Structure 1
Amino acid sequence: MAGPAKGRKLSGLSGCLSCRQVLNIMVILGFMFNYMLRVNLTIAIVAMVLPTNHSQAAAGNATLGSSPSTALDNATLAEAAAEGGVEQTRYDWDEYWQNMIIGCFFWGYVCTEFPGGRLAELIGGRRVFGTSMLVGSVLTLLTPLSARLGIAVVILLRVVLGLSLGVTWPSIHPMVAKWIPPMERSKFIANTMASALGAAITMPVCGLLIASFGWESVFYSTGLVGTVWSIAWFFLIYDSPAQHPRISYEEREYIEKAIGSTTKKGKALPLPWRHVLTSGPVWAIIIAHACSIFGYFTVINQLPTYMKYILDFKIKENGLLSSLPYLGKYLFAVAMSALADHLRQSGRLSTTVARKLFTTIALVMPAIAMAVQLLLGEQRAAAVACFTIALTFNGAVTAGYLGNGLDIAPNFSGTIFGMAQTLSSFTGFLSSAMVGSLTQGNQTFGQWQKVFGILVGTYTAGALAYLVLGSGELQHWNNPPGSTATSNGKDLADEGDAEEEATPLRKL
């Protein structure tokens, strides 16, 4: 096997980290900053517009798939901006246009999730993820200018931002397939939950920026951070161990032996459409993901409305509530993913049983929480506890279905996740429409009980579908006939070395 000289030390950010550790750190930061680029406008828009009697409520309840950052009472940020005394241009955008600006991000977002996964399989996740973040960061820096040019320019910029960031989640899976040994993948997938940390951190930081320097500083700061991260990504990260110029022989050999022939090196394989679209395990992932995201968006996006109209309780009265669910979800995701990998590696659970167990936890526990909410939701303490439990336990998806595509078909994991993510994005729209139709003009606990009942049914349906159809076994169509894969991975590894090392190592 070709490779760097034997005995070379592991290399990374400071020469003391392995390349996989560097990848872990960069992915954690990447998903934090990814969400930062998404939610910054949702927070800043309160300070961008001229105050009206209804504008703050509109921004706080922006729907149509709006970001989870809407859980923050944006009126708090408007007050902070006023107290800061920073004079900046404000725009006469009414509630309709504010919602349009926030929601149009998802017009582009849903269009590139599926092609983003396949593109990463074809040209590499490094280029797709890194370019997406770089473009998104530059567009963020241009947001104040776009506002001065007119609302049409702002909407166009947000649509393009959605197109750019839509590829990020699916594009990371093909990288995982080449870099992370199968028994370590749950822990690595938990890194993507750092997006929850990104939301929790961005909200208070943006509030301080608005108060101290005005709303434009939100976009300049977040755009600059994203740009710096993107440049570092291209210098530090490579698509596979064979392409990395600084990896040690020992680390590369360990990774490639652990992965074996399950992941194709070199040129991407043609997509076996018929097998993918008729695969029960694939549909198990798609259905579970759609049901999980439907519940997640419903709880997060509608929480401020429920707290205000039913409980007469503003989230700003308890600052911890705005970040506690995000923190709980991330910590639970990390813990459950580590447990899942330990149970699989020790042989106590098969991959199939582990994926089904943790998917069940991730979906059934929120279903139970929503059932309790249906009965006791008029009590403040019970409502806060139910929402927090639902979001926290949902973090177990990282040990369940979220990385399951890497188990059943690592060569096409980007495509599978792109399909699941695309459908789940539409459930965000469906969630907003559902809540709006049930509660519009009739904000009573009885109407909200219908919402909670639907959530119980949705979470339960997702869990049952995955229990019946899910699998952790490698599918036969992952290595189609003629792909040169062998049982010991030798032919595949040799072919991959020859192809990958023939490419410039530092090419972006």
Structure 2
Amino acid sequence: MQESNTDVNEESDSHSDATGSGQQNIEASNENQSVPNLSKEWIATRHIFAFLGFLGFANVYAMRVNLSVAIVAMVNSSAIPQRNSTSDDVCPLPTNGSIAPVKEGKFDWDESVQGIILGSFFWGYIVTNPIGGRLGDIFGGKKVFFFGVLFTSLLTLLIPLASYISPYALTALRVCIGLAEGVTFPSMNSMMAKWIPPLERSQTSSFIFAGAQAGIVFSFPLAGLMCDSSFMDGWPMAFYVFGGLGLVWCFFWMILIHESPSTHPRISPEEKLYINSSLRTNKAYFKKMPLPFKEIITSVPFWAILAAHVCQNWGYYFLLTELPTYMKNILHFDIKANSFFSALPYLVMWIVSVVMGFIIDSLRRKGKLATLSARRIANSIGFYCPMICLVLAAYSGCNTKLTLGLLTLGVGLNGATLSGYMNSHLDIASNYAGTLMGLTNCVATIPGFVAPIVVGSIISGQETLSQWRIVFWIAAVIFFIGNTIYIIFISSDEQPWNNLYSSSEIVADGNDYGSLLTASVEDEQILRSER
């Protein structure tokens, strides 16, 4: 802890000067600081935050994607007219009895209507992303994230009612759910900027965001089982169960999670000092700073992140919303098999994202891999490998095992991007991490509602291998473009506009800065008394 003693004393001296040296101390980033010995604690407080963040994303994604499975049971596809196609352009129905006949639903919604319903979520989602990021940076991410999950859960409970009213009512409700959920990713980035030390970012952010894949893994098969049951007509249970689980999560989040280490009543002084000294972020002062919007939109690394985010989301959302439909109408899986095999790629993605984060941060801590190289390698694995798999899957025809293997591998390796561009917001501007995530995720939401519409227009009335081949090729080309732009123009250096305050402004706001330093000194004094 001698290193920490020196850091705190240096900061205290710099505050007494109240000059430009204070700015340097705020901007400093101690990436060489070692992890303290927390053996006295059963589990670190920041790990509890990460675990509940993981469960939070598991909940919101379960509520987001269960409609992709449920709509297969809701729609009567046999009532939708199909254009004629050649026999070698469609897969034959199974004859060995291993796959049961599909269960038809009550609603006569064609592919275009289904595409609008599935994509309508993103019409609302795109609006609140930048709002959620800025609110999280200014007022704190805890409450913003909480209300996002809360309203998503409450509105999810209303989906069955809206479905029976009309497809227009369901579309409007999904827009509202998108509005509620749009604040979650940006506000979580705001919290991670306060809780996660730099050399733990890849593995921790990968773990938290991997909750999305976990939600898919659990919701797809569970939704499939519920849709196949006769209780309450089957498919409505998929929304009642996951909406209820979201409300339960909200209770634990509000009780156990606090905005920052400095405001947490149960965190150990040692862990608090370790996090605060490694981050060097004066959030009390930052709340008063304006957004450097001009500098952000003229930043080349920001545009590299944006390109990667948009192109990633095209492939990701396309597979997420359309894969169950492909499994049913092309490969002829029943609802149970469909939900299981649709979830399998995201189980692999979950594992890949967590393992990749651990490997990347381990190599960075040992000095064997620079941050910029780490981001480029992880992102290339997450983009180029799925691109290749999609092209191969486009020509795998009716070979069910080969198609499933390629799609599982492609989607799974896409999880490496959580150690790639998804960390770049924190790398280049941790003070504005939530805002940056809000901006890029806002634009990257466009593929969420455009992709289903494009897919629906291509395959509408003609569910054939050749039509789906076009869809796969579009996604593959977009993957290639996105990562090529990213690896050329990305940077891992902190951008100058991350700290635009002047020394005179630090003096004017000296009370906030002094409070931060005083807290750090008090933490160190407590640690000394415990030795």
CA spacing shift, 1:483–1:122, aligned 2, 3 Å: farther
Contact 2:119-2:453 within 8 A present in 1 as well: no
Residue deviations 1:459-496, cap 9 Å, x none? 1211211111111111111011327899xxx9985354
Separation of aligned partners in 2, 1:196 and 1:310: 24
Shift of 1:106: 2.2
Paired residue for 2:47, among 1, 18, 21? 21
1:192 and 2:209 aligned: yes
Give the AA of the match of 1:116: G
CA spacing shift, 1:222–1:298, aligned 2, 3 Å: closer
Look up the match of 1:366. 386
Shift of 1:256: 0.7
Look up the match of 1:72. none
Residue deviations 1:197-218, cap 9 Å, x none? 1122112323444526324443
Separation of aligned partners in 2, 1:371 and 1:94: 30
Residue deviations 1:383-441, cap 9 Å, x none? 22221111011100111111110010011111211122122221233323443454445
Separation of aligned partners in 2, 1:280 and 1:246: 41
Say which is worse superposed, 441-450 or 339-348, in terms of deviation.
Answer: 441-450
Look up the match of 1:324. 344
CA spacing shift, 1:265–1:16, aligned 2, 3 Å: farther
Aligned length: 462
CA spacing shift, 1:494–1:362, aligned 2, 3 Å: farther
Look up the match of 2:219. 202
CA spacing shift, 1:484–1:267, aligned 2, 3 Å: farther
Separation of aligned partners in 1, 2:505 and 2:81: 58
* 3-state SS in 2 of match to 1:205: helix
User: Where does 1:36-75 land on structure 2 (aligned, <5 Å)?
Assistant: 36-44=62-70, 53-54=78-79
Say which is worse superposed, 130-139 or 389-398, in terms of deviation.
Answer: 130-139
Look up the match of 2:12. none
Q: TM-score, normalised by structure 1?
A: 0.80
* 3-state SS in 1 of match to 2:265: coil
Unaligned runs of 5+ in 2: 1-7, 9-36, 83-98, 521-531
User: Where does 1:449-464 land on structure 2 (aligned, <5 Å)?
Assistant: 449-464=469-484
User: Percent identity between the aligned chains?
Assistant: 37
CA spacing shift, 1:306–1:104, aligned 2, 3 Å: closer
* 3-state SS in 2 of match to 1:342: helix
Paired residue for 1:32, among 52, 58, 61? 58
Give the AA of the match of 1:204: P
* 3-state SS in 2 of match to 1:53: helix
Structure showing greater relative contact order (alpha-carbon pairs closer than 8 Å, 6 or more residues apart): 2
Separation of aligned partners in 1, 2:270 and 2:263: 15
CA spacing shift, 1:313–1:247, aligned 2, 3 Å: closer
Residue deviations 1:96-142, cap 9 Å, x none? 76655444322211111121111111111101101111122222334
Shift of 1:172: 0.5
Separation of aligned partners in 1, 2:223 and 2:328: 23
Separation of aligned partners in 2, 1:32 and 1:238: 20
Larger radius of gyration between Structure 1 and Structure 2: 2
Shift of 1:251: 0.8
Separation of aligned partners in 1, 2:199 and 2:157: 40
Contact 2:304-2:486 within 8 A present in 1 as well: yes
CA spacing shift, 1:311–1:247, aligned 2, 3 Å: closer
Look up the match of 2:420. 400
Separation of aligned partners in 2, 1:213 and 1:258: 53
Contact 2:295-2:497 within 8 A present in 1 as well: yes
User: Where does 1:311-460 land on structure 2 (aligned, <5 Å)?
Assistant: 317=337, 320-377=340-397, 379-440=399-460, 443-460=463-480
Separation of aligned partners in 1, 2:100 and 2:214: 20
Contact 2:324-2:342 within 8 A present in 1 as well: no
1:292 and 2:312 aligned: yes
Look up the match of 1:60. none
Contact 2:115-2:452 within 8 A present in 1 as well: no
Q: TM-score, normalised by structure 2?
A: 0.77
Separation of aligned partners in 1, 2:492 and 2:193: 15
Separation of aligned partners in 2, 1:23 and 1:430: 34
Separation of aligned partners in 2, 1:265 and 1:349: 33
Separation of aligned partners in 1, 2:177 and 2:279: 35
1:213 and 2:239 aligned: no
Look up the match of 1:69. none
Separation of aligned partners in 2, 1:130 and 1:56: 44
Contact 1:133-1:164 within 8 A present in 2 as well: yes
CA spacing shift, 1:151–1:322, aligned 2, 3 Å: closer
Separation of aligned partners in 1, 2:342 and 2:468: 21
Unaligned runs of 5+ in 1: 2-8, 58-74, 83-89, 501-508
Say which is worse superposed, 264-273 or 227-236, in terms of deviation.
Answer: 264-273
Separation of aligned partners in 2, 1:152 and 1:439: 22
CA spacing shift, 1:19–1:317, aligned 2, 3 Å: closer
Separation of aligned partners in 2, 1:312 and 1:48: 16
Shift of 1:276: 0.5
Separation of aligned partners in 2, 1:363 and 1:380: 24
Say which is worse superposed, 108-117 or 420-429, in terms of deviation.
Answer: 420-429
Look up the match of 1:110. 126
1:167 and 2:193 aligned: no
Residue deviations 1:51-106, cap 9 Å, x none? 5733799xxxxxxxxxxxxxxxxx98984xx9xxxxxxx97664476655444322
Contact 1:132-1:164 within 8 A present in 2 as well: yes
* 3-state SS in 2 of match to 1:427: helix
Shift of 1:294: 1.1
CA spacing shift, 1:193–1:359, aligned 2, 3 Å: same
Contact 2:116-2:452 within 8 A present in 1 as well: no
Contact 1:405-1:413 within 8 A present in 2 as well: yes
Contact 1:263-1:410 within 8 A present in 2 as well: no
